[in-house]
Chain A
Amino acid sequence: MTTNQIDPEATCAGRLVELSPRLAEIKRRIRAGEHHRFRATETIDVRAECDAEGLSWPQRAARLTRRMCEAQTVVIEPDERIVFTRTVRSTPPIYSDEQMQALTAGRTLHELGPISNICADWGMVLSQGLIARRRTALDTRRRLAGDARAVEFLDCAVETIDAVLTLAARYAEEARRMGRDDVAEVLDRVPALPAASFREALQSLRICHAVLWLGGHYHCGFGRFDRYMWPYLQADLDAGRLDEAAAEELLAEFFISLNRDSDLYPGIQQGDNGQSLMLGGVRPDGSSGVNPLTAMALRVARATALIDPKINLRVDGETDLDLLATAVELTRIGLGFPQYANDEVVIPGLVAAGYELQDARDYTVAACWEFIIPGRGMEVVNIGAASMPAAADRAIRAGLSEGETFERILERAGADLRAQVRDLAAASRKLLLPPAPYYSVLMDGCLERGRDLSEGLKYNNFGIHGAASSSAADALAAVRSLVFEEKRVAPDRLLRALDTDFAEDEPLLRMLREEAPKVGNNDERADALLVKLFDLFAEACAAAGDNARGGRYRPGSGSAMYYVWLARGHEGMREPSVGATADGRRAGEFFSSSLAPSPGVAVRGPFSALQSFGKIDYERVCNGGPLTMEISDSLFRGGDAARKVALFVGAFVKSGCQQLQLNTLNAETLKDAQVHPELHRNLVVRVWGWSGYFCELDRAYQDQIIGRHIFGD
C-alpha cells in the first residue's frame, strides 16, 4: 500500500474573466443579428467581367477577392475597437456551371471547390505585413520574369494584396471621418505593416482572415494563436502599454468578432465553420511553448461563451495542472471545447508519417481535429471515410454464409477496407485544387517560389477516416464470442436476424446488446478487434500508395457527419451505408461520433473508455479524430471540481489516447430545449468537431447528442 499525496485542499486556479458592459452589448447585438441590417440585399457579378476580359482561373480567383473587398460597405460601430463586418452575403461564381464542367472534365472538386480546411502561417503574415509580402511577390516576379505561370500567379497575388490594403484604407478613412482616430491609426499600419502591438496584430488577423472567407475559402483555421500572438502582447505588457485587463478586453472583442459573419459561412450544419484555434504545445526544440496568453485565451473564451473560435489545447505529461484546471473551467460551461490533443502521441505519429520533427512539433488542427502544419500543408485531410461497420458487416454476412472461420472473416474485413480505401484513393487522384492566390500570400514559400499553393506545399497528404469503428468492433466481437466461442447463436439465426432487422428475434437483439463484449469497457475481447480494425485500415491506406500530389493517405479515427450518413445514407455519398449490424444495432440507428462506445451500450466508465481507446496504435493512425466523452455538469459541484476534472485530462495523456473531446452536458436541459427552444437560444453543444447552437441543429443531430453516454450522472 502506498500513500499517494493528493492535496484535497487544492482549489481551482485562475480567476474568472467577465465581459465588460461594452463587450456584453456587442455580443448581444451579434446574437440578435442586429448587424444584419448592414448586409447588402443584392449579390455582385464577377463572372461577366471575367468572361469579357477572358481571364484565366487564377486571374478570376484574384478578381473575385478584389471585387468582394471593394463591395464591402465599411461598418464601424461606435463602441468597436477591432473592426470589420462583412456586408456582402454570398460569394458569386467566377464560372458558369457549363464552364466549370468543361474545366473540371475528368476531374473532381473537393467538397464545394475552393481550398478549405488548411491553416495559414499567421505568425509570418502578422510579423511581415502585406507590404512586405507584396515586395516578395515583386522580387520573385523579377527573378522569374521568363516564367509565364509564375508571373501570372504573382500578379494575381499582388492584386489580392492590394485589394486587402484598399479595404483597410477605406476602413481607416471612415474611422477618421467618424472621429475614431484610435481605429484609424491602427488601420493606417495594419495589415500593411508588421503589427507593432497586440491590438494591431488582432486587427490585422481579423481582416486578413475575413478576406479568406470573402474569396470563397472556408474552414479557415487560426493555428497556434498563443505562439504567434504572444510576442505582441508581451511587448505591450513589458512597455506598460497594456495591462492584463486591457489585453483581455481586446482579446475578448476579437473572439466575439469571429461570430459576426459566421452565419454566412458554409458548413453542414450551422456552426460547422472550422474556426479552430490551437493553444499550448511545444516550441521547435521541444521545450514548452506555453505562455501567459495560453491561459488568458482559455479564460477569455469562457467569458465570451460563444461558439467561435473553437479552442484546442495541446497537452503532454508536463502540462501544468493549473493550466488544465483553467481549461476545464471552459469545459464546464458546456461549449464542448477545449478539445485536447496529446503531444506525446500526435507528434510521434506525424514523424512516423514522414513529417520533419520540427514541423510535427508545430502541428495545429484543421477545421475539426485533423493534424496539419500551419503554412506548410496543402493537405486534404478528409477526402472521405471508410465505413468500418460496412466492412465488418459484409465480412460477417459473407463469412457466416460460407461457413468460414472467424480469422477468415477478419481477412474479409481487411480486404473490404482495402477496397474502400482503394476506391476513395482512386477518386481522390482526380481531385482538382483550384488556384488560390490570396491564400498563397499567407502560406510559406508560395510567393518566394512563384507557385500557387494549389500546386502543392511541403506536405500534400490526404486523410481518410475510419468511421464508426466501435460499432464495427462490437459486431465482430459479438460474432466471435457468441457464434464462434460460446456457440450460443447459430450463424443462420444471426444472418436471418440481420436480414430482417431483428423483427422476429428480439431475444437475439437483447443478447447481442447486453451479453456481447463492447468497446469502451477495457474488455480485451472487444478492444483487440478495435485495434485490429485500425491496423487493417492503416495497412489499407499504406497500400493505396501515393495521392498523385506527392503525398500519401493518412488514416484517421474521426467520424464527422459519417456517424449519421453511414447509418442512413446521404445523397451523393461515395461511402457504403449499412442496415442492421451484429452488435445489436437496428438499421438506421446512429453510430457514435468519432471514438466513443457505441450508443446505448452499457459502459463501465470514463477510465475504462480511456483504456480501451488508448490501445489503438496511433503511430499508424495519425490523421486525428477524438475520443469523445460527455460528462455530467454534476461533476463540477464543489470548490475543487475543476482541478479534479483536470486530473482526468492528465489521465487522458497517460492513457495514450490521441485526442479528447470532453463535453459537459445536462440531458434534461437538452430535452427541455427541444420542447421550448425559445428558452434555450444560447444553449451550445459539441456536435462532432465543432460546436453549435443546439436549437439550430436538425432534430436527428439533437437526438444523437441526447443519446450519448453521460459520465458522472
Chain B
Amino acid sequence: MATIGTVFDIREMTVHDGPGLRTTVFLKGCPLRCAWCHNPEGVAAAPQTMRSPAGERIAGRAYTSEELAGILNGQASLLRDIGGVTFSGGEPAMQAAFVAETIDRLEGLHVTLDTSGSAPEQDFLLLAQRCDLVLFDLKLMDADAHRRWTGSDNGLILANLAALAGLGKPFVIRVPLVPGVTDTDENLSAIAERASALPGPPRVELLPYNRAAGGKYAACGLPWQPEFDETAPIRANLKPFRNLNVEAVIQ
C-alpha cells in the first residue's frame, strides 16, 4: 500500500535547486514560520484555496508515492543526463515516509534534498541517507533570534546538521540573506565558524533576499507585513567565510 503525500507544485526545469536542470517537487507543510518565506502556500499541511484576479485554484494535491514516482520516472530519460529531481517545500521531512518511499521508487535519478533541517532526526536522516546531495538551510545561529524570526528553536536544526556531516554525503549550507536579520556580521561569522568545524568543510551558498517574496501572500489570504526592512541593502559578506577557509559563494 503506497503512502500518500501532499504536494503543492511540481516544477520542471528548475535551475537553482541543485546541479544541472531539475524537476522540483514542493511538499506541503513546514514547521517553521520564517518571516521572509516566499512560499506561503507551502506552510500549511493541508490543501488550500489560492485566490487571485485570475481565479481560484487549490494549492496542494494528494499523490501516492507510486503516482509521484511515476511522473518523475517518466522524465528519467531526460533528467538522467542533465540533472535530476529535487524535493523541496515546505519541509520535505515533514512527510518523510512519503518522500522516502517515492525516492525508493525512482529509477536511477540524482536526488537532491532541499531542507530546513527542522525535523525529528530519524525523519531527517530517513531522507538524507537516500539523497545524493543535501541543500541544508541555515538561517540564524542565535537561538533567540531564530525563535523570533522563524517561530522555532534551532536546536534540532543544528543537531541534524551535525548528523548530516556524519553521514559523509555531499551537502551544501544555504543561508538566505535577509536584510538586518540574517546578513549581520555576527550571524555570518557564527555560521562560518560552525561550517568550518564540520568535516569537509561544506561549501556555503548565500542567497540574497528577493523582494518578490511577498508576492503570494494575498492569494493565500495572508497579510504581508514583514518586520524587517525589505528595502535595506543586503550585505553579502564573504569575509567571515574566507577568514576560516570556508568556500562561500553568492547565488
Which residues of A pack against B, CB within 8 Å?
A: 1-4, 6-8, 522, 604-608, 610-611, 631, 635, 637-638, 641, 644-645, 647-648, 650-651, 654-655, 711-712
With A2-B108, A522-B74 already in contact, the answer to whether A641 and B79 are too (CB < 8 A) is: no
29 A-B contacts, Cβ less than 8 Å apart? A1-B103, A1-B132, A2-B80, A2-B132, A3-B110, A3-B132, A4-B19, A4-B80, A4-B109, A6-B19, A6-B110, A8-B19, A605-B10, A605-B11, A606-B12, A607-B23, A608-B75, A611-B75, A611-B78, A631-B13, A637-B15, A638-B15, A638-B16, A641-B15, A647-B82, A651-B78, A711-B12, A711-B13, A712-B14
Q: Name B1-38 residues within 8 Å CB distance of A.
A: 10-16, 18-21, 23
Which residues of chain B have C-beta atoms less than 8 A from A6's C-beta? 19-20, 82-83, 110
Q: Which of A1, A522, A638, A712 has the most CB of B within 10 A?
A: A1
With A641-B15, A647-B21, A648-B21 already in contact, the answer to whether A654 and B81 are too (CB < 8 A) is: yes
Contact, CB under 8 Å: A712 / B78? no
Contact, CB under 8 Å: A4 / B84? yes
With A647-B21, A654-B81 already in contact, the answer to whether A606 and B13 are too (CB < 8 A) is: yes
**Bound-complex Cα distance A3 to B131 (A):** 9
Asked if B96 CB lies within 8 Å of chain A CBs, one says no
Asked if B111 CB lies within 8 Å of chain A CBs, one says yes
Contact, CB under 8 Å: A604 / B13? no
Which 10 pairs across A and B sit closest by C-beta, in order of nearness? A605-B12, A4-B110, A6-B19, A647-B82, A6-B20, A607-B12, A8-B19, A651-B78, A606-B13, A644-B15
Asked if B106 CB lies within 8 Å of chain A CBs, one says yes
Contact, CB under 8 Å: B12 / A604? yes
Contact, CB under 8 Å: A1 / B130? yes
Asked if B77 CB lies within 8 Å of chain A CBs, one says yes
With A604-B12, A607-B13 already in contact, the answer to whether A650 and B111 are too (CB < 8 A) is: no
Which of A8, A651, A712 is close to B82, meaning CB atoms less than 8 Å apart?
Answer: A651
With A611-B75, A647-B82 already in contact, the answer to whether A605 and B13 are too (CB < 8 A) is: yes
Contact, CB under 8 Å: B19 / A7? yes
Contact, CB under 8 Å: B21 / A644? yes
Q: Name B111-162 residues within 8 Å CB distance of A.
A: 111, 130, 132
**Bound-complex Cα distance A616 to B19 (A):** 30
Which residues of chain A have C-beta atoms less than 8 A from B84's C-beta? 4
Which residues of B pack against A, CB within 8 Å?
A: 10-16, 18-21, 23, 74-75, 77-84, 103, 106, 108-111, 130, 132, 251
17 additional A-B residue pairs with CB within 8 Å, beyond A3-B110, A608-B75: A1-B109, A1-B111, A4-B80, A8-B18, A605-B10, A607-B12, A607-B75, A611-B75, A611-B78, A631-B13, A638-B15, A645-B15, A648-B21, A648-B82, A651-B82, A711-B13, A712-B15
Q: Which of B11, B18, B19 has the most CB of A within 10 A?
A: B19
**Bound-complex Cα distance A604 to B75 (A):** 12
Which residues of chain A have C-beta atoms less than 8 A from B11's C-beta? 605
Write the chain B residue with the least CB distance to A653: B81
Which residues of chain A have C-beta atoms less than 8 A from B14's C-beta? 712
Q: What is the minimal beta-carbon distance from B112 to any residue of chain A, in angstroms? A: 10
Q: What is the minimal beta-carbon distance from A536 to any residue of chain B, in angstroms? A: 26
Q: What is the minimal beta-carbon distance from B114 to any residue of chain A, in angstroms? A: 14
Contact, CB under 8 Å: B132 / A608? no
Which residues of chain B have C-beta atoms less than 8 A from A641's C-beta? 15
Write the chain B residue with the least CB distance to A608: B12
**Bound-complex Cα distance A522 to B106 (A):** 18
Which residues of chain A have C-beta atoms less than 8 A from B81's C-beta? 647, 650-651, 654
**Bound-complex Cα distance A552 to B110 (A):** 47
Q: Which of B75, B78, B79, B80 has the most CB of A within 10 A?
A: B78
Which residues of chain A have C-beta atoms less than 8 A from B251's C-beta? 638
**Bound-complex Cα distance A605 to B79 (A):** 13
With A605-B13, A654-B81 already in contact, the answer to whether A647 and B20 are too (CB < 8 A) is: yes
**Bound-complex Cα distance A651 to B81 (A):** 8
Write the chain B residue with the least CB distance to A8: B19
**Bound-complex Cα distance A637 to B16 (A):** 9
Q: What is the minimal beta-carbon distance from B7 to any residue of chain A, in angstroms? A: 12
Q: What is the minimal beta-carbon distance from A492 to any residue of chain B, in angstroms? A: 28
Q: What is the minimal beta-carbon distance from A612 to any residue of chain B, in angstroms? A: 11
Which residues of chain B have C-beta atoms less than 8 A from A3's C-beta? 110, 132
**Bound-complex Cα distance A637 to B208 (A):** 12
Contact, CB under 8 Å: A654 / B77? yes
**Bound-complex Cα distance A6 to B130 (A):** 18
Write the chain A residue with the least CB distance to B16: A638
Which residues of chain B have C-beta atoms less than 8 A from A654's C-beta? 77-78, 81
Write the chain A residue with the least CB distance to B24: A605
Contact, CB under 8 Å: B23 / A2? no
Which residues of chain B have C-beta atoms less than 8 A from A610's C-beta? 78
With A6-B19, A635-B15, A712-B13 already in contact, the answer to whether A607 and B78 are too (CB < 8 A) is: yes
With A1-B108, A6-B110 already in contact, the answer to whether A648 and B13 are too (CB < 8 A) is: yes
**Bound-complex Cα distance A1 to B75 (A):** 16
Which residues of chain A have C-beta atoms less than 8 A from B75's C-beta? 522, 607-608, 611
Which residues of chain A have C-beta atoms less than 8 A from B83's C-beta? 4, 6, 647
**Bound-complex Cα distance A708 to B81 (A):** 28
Which of A604, A645, A651 is close to B10, meaning CB atoms less than 8 Å apart?
Answer: A604
Q: What is the minimal beta-carbon distance from B77 to any residue of chain A, in angstroms? A: 7
Contact, CB under 8 Å: B21 / A651? yes
Contact, CB under 8 Å: A605 / B74? no
Q: What is the minimal beta-carbon distance from A83 to any residue of chain B, in angstroms? A: 44
**Bound-complex Cα distance A651 to B80 (A):** 10
Write the chain B residue with the least CB distance to A636: B15
Write the chain A residue with the least CB distance to B10: A604
**Bound-complex Cα distance A4 to B18 (A):** 12
Q: What is the minimal beta-carbon distance from B211 to any residue of chain A, in angstroms? A: 13
Q: What is the minimal beta-carbon distance from A323 to any residue of chain B, in angstroms? A: 16
**Bound-complex Cα distance A514 to B74 (A):** 22
Write the chain A residue with the least CB distance to B77: A654
Contact, CB under 8 Å: A611 / B74? yes
**Bound-complex Cα distance A637 to B110 (A):** 23
Q: What is the minimal beta-carbon distance from B72 to any residue of chain A, in angstroms? A: 10
**Bound-complex Cα distance A647 to B78 (A):** 10
Which residues of chain A have C-beta atoms less than 8 A from B12's C-beta? 604-608, 711
**Bound-complex Cα distance A443 to B106 (A):** 55
Which residues of chain A have C-beta atoms less than 8 A from B78's C-beta? 607, 610-611, 651, 654-655
Which residues of chain B have C-beta atoms less than 8 A from A637's C-beta? 15-16
Which residues of chain B have C-beta atoms less than 8 A from A2's C-beta? 80, 108-110, 132
Which residues of chain A have C-beta atoms less than 8 A from B132's C-beta? 1-4
**Bound-complex Cα distance A6 to B20 (A):** 6
Q: What is the minimal beta-carbon distance from A85 to any residue of chain B, in angstroms? A: 44
Q: What is the minimal beta-carbon distance from A630 to any residue of chain B, in angstroms? A: 12
**Bound-complex Cα distance A459 to B82 (A):** 39
Which residues of chain B have C-beta atoms less than 8 A from A648's C-beta? 13, 21, 82
**Bound-complex Cα distance A637 to B11 (A):** 17
Which residues of chain B have C-beta atoms less than 8 A from A8's C-beta? 18-19
Write the chain B residue with the least CB distance to A651: B78
Write the chain B residue with the least CB distance to A629: B13
Contact, CB under 8 Å: A635 / B111? no
Q: Which of B10, B12, B13, B79 has the most CB of A within 10 A?
A: B13
**Bound-complex Cα distance A158 to B132 (A):** 69
**Bound-complex Cα distance A8 to B251 (A):** 12
**Bound-complex Cα distance A606 to B108 (A):** 21
Which residues of chain A have C-beta atoms less than 8 A from B109's C-beta? 1-2, 4
Q: What is the minimal beta-carbon distance from A90 to any residue of chain B, in angstroms? A: 46
**Bound-complex Cα distance A408 to B20 (A):** 46
**Bound-complex Cα distance A637 to B81 (A):** 22
Write the chain A residue with the least CB distance to B13: A606
